[in-house]
Each structure stands twice: as C-alpha cells, then as structure tokens.
Chain A
C-alpha cells in the first residue's frame, strides 16, 4: 500500500480489520473506486453489521409469507391470488438536516421498495417523533417533515392512511421519521431483485445521477483528502425529491411489469448503483459488467466513484432481455423517463466497472462480496449499571391535578393528517385519527371488491421501551395488534423499524437485543411473523442516545366487510365496558405519559403484562367488531383510560359518567391489553356472559350521555373544554408559520 493510501479506508469509514478482509477477498489491495464501493455497501445502513446477529432471532416464517426479510419488501399471500407487499424504513438523519426533503425522499424511497416487487403502492403510514413542542427548532423540523410527507405523498398519489405523532425531549436534535408503505399485486406478478440470464441488460430508469447523497466517499474527490475532509463545499447538497418523476417512474415500471418485460428489478436507494448492481447480481448468482460512461448524469465531469455511489432519488434498475429493450425504451419514453443500458449480466459472478463496455476496467470484484461478505459484529452489550436502582423508583409521585393533567395529555392529530391525502384509491374505510386504518381490499387485476379489508397500524413507545426494552417492545406489538383488532382485522405480518442510539455503547446493544426478544415473543404469540424491517442506529445528539424506539407496523385481514366497523363514536345512553387486563389499585405508573410528562419520573417497573390474555382479548375484540356486535370500540393506549375515554367523548360530542376510577393511578396508568367497548344496555348481560366464557376479563365502568366527561369524583370537564384542549394544541404550536431555530 502506498503510504498516502494508508488511511483512505479509515476516512471512508472502514476499519483496519475490514480493510484486511477486503484485501483477503480480492487477493490484492483494492483501488479507490473499489474501496468506495465496499465502504458504502459495508456501512451500517446497508449491511446491518451490528444488528444482523440479533435480527436472526425474529420469527419470519408462516405459510402465507411469500417473501421474508432481505428483499426490498416483505410479501404475504392474502388469498384470491392477491399478494400484499409491505415495508417500513427510517429517514431520521436526512430529516434532521432538511426536514421537508428528508421526509419527502423518505416517502419516495419506501414507495420504490414496494413497486420494485411488482406491487402498486396503495397506502403510506408515517410514525413521526420530534423534540418538544416548546423548542423552536423541533417545531421547525416537525412542520417541515409533515409538509414533506404531504407534498411528496399527495403528489405522487399514494394515500397516507395513518401514523403517529410524538413529541419528547429524547428526540430534540434527532427526530425519527419512519415511513411504512404497502402495495398490492397479483401473486403471479411478484418480481424479485435478481439479475439472471447471461447477456441480459441492466437498464437504469428515471432521474439522472447527480452528486447528491455521496456523503462520506466525497473525500475521494480531491487528491489530498486530508483537506477535502475539511472542505464542506465538496460535500454534496441535500437530496431533493421529485414526486412527479417518481409518479412517472412508478407508472412506467408497473407497465413494464404488466407486460412481462423485466426479469428482475431493483430500486436505487442507499449506495446507489453499487448496491443495485451488486445485489441483483449476487441474488441471481450472476455477475455484471457496468459501463459508467452510459449512466445519464446531471452534472458534467462526474467521476466513476461518484456515479457508482450517488444516492440520487427516483431511479430504478431493470434487468431485461435484449429483445425486450425496444419496448422498454418505448414505454419509458411515453412516460417521459430517461432510460440507459448501463450493464450486462455475465456468468462469472464478477462485478466489473468499465469506462465503456469495451473500455478500461476501473474496478473488478466478486459481486457477492459486497453483499454477502459484509462483516457481522457481535458488539458488546450490557444492561445499564443502575438498572436495579432505576427499576425500584416509584413513578406515581408528583403534583397531581387530574383534570388539568387530562387536558395536557389530550392531542387531536387531525391538523397533521388533514394535510395528507388519505382517501385516494377509494379504499379508506377507516382512515387516520382512529385506532387502526382499514382499507377495502380490491383485486389488483380487475379493481373488483373482494368483500375483505386490510387493517394496518404503526406503533412505538419509547417510554415503555426505556423502562424495559423487552416487555416494552412486546407491549408495542400488542398495542399495534389491538389497534387493528378494533377495526376487525386479524394480524398476518409485522414489519419493524428499530430506531436506537449508538451501537458502540453496550447499553444500546442491550436495548436492541432485549427489544428483539420482546418483539419475537409477541410476534410468536400473535402468530404474526416479521416480514421485513429496517435498523436505524446512531440516533444520538451530543453523545446522548435516544430512548430505544422500536416501531412496528402490523397488517391484518378483515375477512368480511359489509359495513364500516363501529369506530369510537358513541351515542348517549350506552353502557361502557372495559375489556381485557384489569390492573390493581396499586398498578405501576412507570413508562406512562403521565409519569414522563407530568410526574417527572422516567423509570420504575412497567405494569404487569399478560401477553396470552392480550392475545385472547385481541381475538375476541376482532370478532365482536367483525360481527358489528357493539356500538363503539376504542383501544386504551398512551395516556391510559382517561385519555381513551376523553378521545371517545370529544370524537362524539357526547359526555360520559364513569365510576370506580379515582385518582391519577387508575386514570392514567398504561397497563397493556385493554379496550373500551360501548354497547346497548340490553346487550350487557349476554356480553358479560360471553366474555367470561372466553376467559376475557370485562368490567362495566359507566355510561354515555350528558355534556361533560365525569370520571368519578376526580374529573368533571365539559366536552367543549376537552375539545378545545385536544384540537388547538397542534395548530397553535405548528400552524402559525414556524421559524428555523
């Protein structure tokens, strides 16, 4: 190695050991281009090198799983020859820098993952987490991200049917912008990201390649990279999303797939062309010659390493047989998208980067080494040293004014989701602002209704997971399942987005490992395998890690939909029943919103959680919703019973009288696995008999009616006051034109 090269790999983010591995794999020292390609492919983002060892413990199989983790999206068979593709991804770090474009390109990227599989994306969900609302910069980020999801998602034409919005100190400086997308396809159209058939062509479709998103490898742009690493001007600018380009790319790709013109297709995301060419080749057991001079670029004079690692948006790589090329170019031109033949599939497993197909060889390496030989680390893990002490804290103390606390805890997200088109495609039976979303399932070949519907929900809870990452994560999965139970859907699959801090901190790795175990237990109990996921590490600000935030998306099936499910709207004179786990009077407040945001204690021990009983409860709730047997139903989640009841009251404009729940412990604890059901008085007796037969605890808690929410002797608030508190917070904080902080 030449002396000036001694530390190139380190600047590119590769360790000395990783460099030696590359040296061994190639049997020689890599050149700069090769090193750049390894550095992007072996990054944490692309290789999951810190988390892979843990992810292997997740359950991933079921008879209905067609494609599990490792492809662009998970795919399940939902019957009638219809498959559903689903994936979730994070765009946390880009959104912290440029909120609008970070979120926009996050939506764009996840949609490509879905149509890559041959599916038309029909729904997006966006779980969002920001710093506190009283922090100007956090408000600026929140407003930008929401506008970005709206601006890109609406324009590209995919409805945003749900999500979450959370504000907490832990996300100050490091927001979490996760995006889930779901699509439907005829089972027979399923395409994988594989390159096969020697002589087949790799066609780059869509936007031109610029210097955006080159990130760390941009240091290679200068001869003396010591200066270059200091030179901010060399750093590529923020990636800008173009929803109109994406829309045309989407329609063109679906048309190519409809006509059977591609043998494999892959979107370009992290690590750009390097990733797409090496992954398709290595999955197909093939090799590929790539001509960098054929790549349509946006800027003059781009160097090969820039073209190979650029993360420019709205691009796809299609593998086509030579005789199909003319038709592929025809369809591309009809949709006004650029198309260039940049590669040829070869049989030798080598990825060769050439300057012209007959020109100079710029790089040559076994394609599979970029993909399969990425390092895998068993990083040290250990629980926090003061765990026992932390768990012994009592989270229920603090100043208590239940009525005032309830007003603080109420938040209506309508200001956010009314900015999203959530109705496109005429499937949205239950949209955002409810427990789970419910979408009519129509046959993608004919558009005809199947009489069935898909339930979806995303959930995360950093408070529970901070207190106990294992049980907290299990409760998060249960919460998501309960949400779709409330719209009548039985869980079929889970996708996850694991947002954690710095994996070099043993405590973070412990959190990740515990979360994976909690998720595995819950997914097994609900018989819902994990079909895909994304890991986002290094979520930290000034060396402080975020609270562990595994986010799950769950998808399930409503087998027979003839009427909208009951929803949370109540009329007067109904009886309210609390179904599911019934916590004791001395239940722990640990991990609750009340404890974090009002009581000021972030630790303690989570309330007991009975997973098996929750499985029974969810199954029972699903059934009564499917049968439309109750008048209203609402999951008890963040903020506890009082918040859930207040949400129902505000939603309906109808008051309630509840007895037997006094004091903040009873009202705001966040025991899992509970649902509020409203039913006609005459149905009560048979309902209670049925729940008892099914081993599902149930307790009558009060009835509906009147102008106020009366919770025992503790709370008596008018619906008007509750409504104002719920509806005004977000528009007042975010809607007045925010200023960059």
Chain B
C-alpha cells in the first residue's frame, strides 16, 4: 500500500530558534499580544510503500533518524495521513 506521510521537523526543546524568537518579538507589535512559544520548523510530505500504517511509520522514522532531521537540534513528528 502507498501511504502519504507528513513529517514535522521542529527545533528540539531548549534549542534556540532564532526564526521563532523573531516572529515572537514581532507579534505584539501587530497587536497579537497573547501568542508565545513560537517555533519555526519545516514540513516534509512524502509517499511510502508499506504493508501497514505501522511499517510506514517505522520506515519514515528511520528516515528521520538517519537523514531528514538532525537529532542534535531537531525533533521529528511523523504522521501517517492516508492509507
């Protein structure tokens, strides 16, 4: 089966995120005073061939560990969207 997978790559907790902080500093100036904890990462969409949702997830998590994200600074959240 072919699965559509969404991978959110976000800066790890505790790692400075200059883009996020800049946005956070700008928001109040625009009147959005209630926002906080802004973190900017990236989203990767891909399709993967697998037997089941779990296998699809396992393949993509391996991909994340080895290539798509840098565990020193990034965390990945894998979401299998459609079967």
Interface on A for B, CB 8 Å cutoff?
A: 736-737, 739
Residues on B with beta carbons closer than 8 Å to the beta carbon of A737: 22-23, 25-26
List the B side residues contacting A736 at CB < 8 Å: 26
B25, A739: Cβ atoms under 8 Å? no
* B-to-A contact residues, CB < 8 Å: 22-23, 25-26, 30
CB contacts (< 8 Å) of B30 on chain A: these are: 739
Nearest-CB distance from B51 to chain A (Å)?
A: 30
Secondary structure at chain A's binding surface: helix, strand, loop or mixed?
Answer: loop
B25 CB contacts on chain A under 8 angstroms: 737
Docked Cα-Cα span, A109 to B22, in Å, equals 32
Residue pairs across A and B with Cβ atoms less than 8 A apart, 7 shown, are A736-B26, A737-B22, A737-B23, A737-B25, A737-B26, A739-B26, A739-B30
> What separation, in Å, do the CA atoms of A737 and B18 have in the docked complex?
12
For the complex, what is the distance from the CA of A736 to the CA of B23, rounded to whole Å?
A: 10
How far does the alpha carbon of A739 sit from the alpha carbon of B23 in the complex, in Å? 11
Closest residue on chain A to residue B25 by CB atoms: A737
A736 CA to B22 CA, complexed, in Å: 8
| B-chain residues with CB within 8 Å of residue A739 when the two chains form the complex | 26, 30
Q: Of all chain A residues, which has the CB nearest B30?
A: A739
Give Cα A120–Cα B26 distance, bound, in whole angstroms: 42
Least CB distance from A735 to B in Å reads 10
Residues of A within 8 A of B22 (CB): 737
Smallest distance from the beta carbon of A734 to chain B beta carbons, Å?
13
**7 smallest beta-carbon distances between A and B, as pairs:** A737-B26, A737-B22, A739-B30, A737-B23, A739-B26, A737-B25, A736-B26
Alpha-carbon distance A301/B30, docked complex (angstroms): 44
Closest residue of B by beta carbon distance from A736: B26
B81 to chain A, nearest CB (A): 23
Instruction: List residues of chain A with CB within 8 A of the CB of B23.
Output: 737
Question: When chains A and B are docked, how far (Å) is the Cα of A545 from the Cα of B30?
Answer: 33
- Minimum C-beta distance from B82 to chain A (A): 22
Chain A: minimal CB distance from B24 (Å)? 10
| Cα distance, A419 to B26, chains bound together (Å) | 22
* Residues of chain A contacted by B26 (CB below 8 angstroms): 736-737, 739
Residue of A nearest to B23 (CB): A737
A736 CA / B21 CA spacing, docked (Å): 12
How many Å lie between the Cα of A737 and that of B22 in the bound state? 7
What separation, in Å, do the CA atoms of A113 and B30 have in the docked complex?
Answer: 43
Q: How far is the CA of A162 from the CA of B6 in the complex (A)?
A: 43
In the assembled complex, the Cα of A739 lies from the Cα of B25 at a distance in Å of 13
What's the least CB distance linking B71 to chain A, in Å?
Answer: 25
- How far, in angstroms, from A739 to B29 measured CA to CA in the complex? 11
- Bound-state CA distance A367–B66 (Å) is 53
Complex Cα spacing A739 to B27, Å: 11
CB distance from B26 to the nearest CB of A (A): 5
CB proximity of A701 to chain B, nearest CB, Å: 46
Closest-CB distance, B19 to chain A (whole angstroms): 10
Q: How far is the CB of A302 from chain B (nearest CB, A)?
A: 24
Q: How far is the CA of A233 from the CA of B34 in the complex (A)?
A: 36
CA distance A737 to B25 in the complex (A): 9
Q: How far is the CB of A137 from chain B (nearest CB, A)?
A: 15
Please measure, in the bound complex, the distance between the C-alpha atom of A295 and the C-alpha atom of B35, giving whole angstroms.
Answer: 49
Nearest-CB distance from B25 to chain A (Å)? Answer: 7
A739 to B32, CA, bound (A): 14
- How far is B30's CA from A736's CA once the two chains are assembled, in angstroms? 13
A151 to chain B, nearest CB (A): 15
Min CB gap A405→B, angstroms = 30
Looking at the assembled complex, report how far the CB atom of B52 sits from the nearest CB atom of chain A, in whole angstroms.
31
Q: Give bound CA distance, A591 to B68, whole Å.
A: 56
| Nearest A-chain residue to B22, judged by Cβ | A737
Whole-angstrom distance between the Cβ of B59 and the nearest chain A Cβ: 25
Query: In the complex, A736 Cα to B27 Cα: how many Å?
Result: 12
Q: How far is the CB of B22 from chain A (nearest CB, A)?
A: 5
A496 to B25, CA, bound (A): 43
| Nearest Cβ on chain A to B60's Cβ, whole angstroms | 25
Report A134 CB to chain B, min CB distance, Å.
Answer: 16
